[in-house]
Amino acid sequence: MNLFVEPVGVSHFLLVGAVLFVAGVVCMATKRNALGVLMGIELVLNGANLNFIAFGSPYFRETSLGLDGQFIALFVIVLAAAEAAVALAIALNFYNNHATIDVDRADELKG
C-alpha cells in the first residue's frame, strides 16, 4: 500500500496531522523566545485538529454522523483563541518588565 498512488483518504490526513504535531513539538523545544513557543503550540493544536477531523470522517466510521471530530476541533479552535489572547497579554507584560521576550531571562518571581 503506497500512500502516493492511492486517492486521498484518512491515512493522508493522519500523516499530515502527525507531521504538524511533531513540527510543533520540535518548535516548542528549540525556540528560545515566547513567540516561537506559541507558534509551536499552535502547530500542535492544528495537528491535533486535523487528526480529530480525520477520525470523525465517514470514511473511517460509517456508523456515526461524522461530526464528532468537527465539534472537538471547533472546541480546540476556541481554546486556542483564548490561549493566544492570554499568552499575548503575558508576553506584553514580560516585555514591559524585561525589555525582551527571551524566555531564558525569566529568572525571578515577583508577586
Assigned domain for 44 exists: yes
Q: What's the chain's Rg over C-alpha atoms? A: 18
pLDDT > 90? residue 18: yes
What is the arithmetic mean of pLDDT over 68-95? 86
CATH number at residue 61: 1.10.287.3510
**Three-state SS at 45:** helix
Q: How confident is the model at residue 25 (pLDDT cuts 50, 70, 90)?
A: very high
Domain range for 49: 10-101
Assigned domain for 3 exists: no
pLDDT > 90? residue 67: no
Assigned domain for 5 exists: no
Assigned domain for 110 exists: no
| pLDDT of res. 108 | 67
**DSSP 8-state code for residue 4:** T
Record the pTM. Answer: 0.74
Number of domains in the chain: 1
CA atoms of 32 and 27, how far apart (whole Å): 9
